[in-house]
Amino acid sequence: MHKPLLQLHGFSVSYGAVEAVHPVDLEVRSGEIVTVIGPNGAGKTTLLSAIMGLLPARGGMELDGRRIARATVEGMVAERVALVPEKRELFGDMTVKDNLLLGGFPLWRKGQRDQSQRMDEVYAIFPRLGERCAQLASTLSGGERQMLAIGRALMARPRLLMLDEPSLGLAPLIVREVLNVVASLRAHGVSVLLVEQNARAALRVADRAYVLETGSVVLSGAARDLLHDARVIETYLGAV
């Protein structure tokens, strides 16, 4: 398929003396949706935070074939990598539109003033945000808030979008709606690294998957194969 966008080689992350993510190899190819599934405390959030430069890491990271010696948040934003954290971190007393404008700030700073065009593109991806552009973020439903968090990240035109548990706290129908939009991002040239505890929903939209347990990748492969893997079914999917 497409060429590698993000490659991790022996990438590990520690909190003090405790290694929370043991050396992992992971790849996201251009145009791919890759999911990392695993139980509470497996190290999924830690992994995304370190890729984003929020935590120091050891080992190798390459973006588009170029080595990133030491990731920093500013550097990763400039590389067009975006992270939507688990807590979504919206500005509740600001409107949907203003939250989106803030997300476009990295582009604006680089002199790209096409914020309104980009906003229209985000509204085309999430029509619900367009309908509610003047509404305060704090008054949105859980699903709409998640859409706004993703939409805000998309304002900076990321080539790699990292999502930390977008399904958290959402009803199953809404999870499907949000993840279907995530799947559609391929067509917009966005690659996605999706961290999820909701393994079934994640495996249904992803191309490939990694299973992370206590900081180590214990299984990886095509998402559709993992959906039928006996160990994944037993541990993560349960009876259908």
Q: How far is the CB of 49 from ligand ATP (least distance, A)?
A: 7
How many residues are present in the chain? 240
Closest CB to ligand ATP among residues 82, 96: 82
For residue 45, the minimal CB distance to ligand ATP (Å) is 3
Please, which of residues 20-79 interact with ligand ATP by CB under 6 A? 20, 38, 40-46
Identity of the residue, 45 or 235, whose beta carbon is nearer to ligand ATP in the bound complex: 45
- In the complex, what is the shortest distance from the CB of residue 93 to ligand ATP, in angstroms, rounded to a whole number? 27
> Which one, 19 or 225, has the nearer CB to ligand ATP?
19
Q: Which is nearer to ligand ATP, 46 or 99 (CB)?
A: 46
105 binds ligand ATP (CB under 6 A): no
Report d(CA 228, CA 210) in Å as an integer. Answer: 14
In 3D space, the residue among 197, 224, 227 whose CA is nearest the CA of residue 213 turns out to be 197
Pairing of strands 216-222, 4-15: unpaired
According to CB under 6 A, which residues from 197 to 226 bind ligand ATP?
A: 197
Residue 216: CB minimum distance to ligand ATP, A: 12
Distance CA 69, CA 233 (A): 38
What does DSSP assign to residue 4?
E
Task: Find the shortest distance in angstroms from Cβ 18 to ligand ATP.
Answer: 6
Tell me whether residue 65 is exposed, middle or buried, using C-beta atoms within 10 angstroms of its C-beta: 0 to 12, 13 to 18, 19 or more.
Answer: exposed
Side-by-side strand order, sheet with 216-222: 81-84, 160-164, 191-196, 33-37, 208-213, 216-222
One-letter amino acid for residue 125 of the chain: I
Give the per-residue contact string, 162-201, with ligand ATP (x = CB under 6 A; - = no).
-----------------------------------x----
Residue 193 and residue 227: Cα distance in Å, rounded? Answer: 18
* Nearest approach, Cβ of residue 167 and ligand ATP (Å): 11
Give the footprint of ligand ATP on this chain (CB under 6 A): 15, 20, 38, 40-46, 197
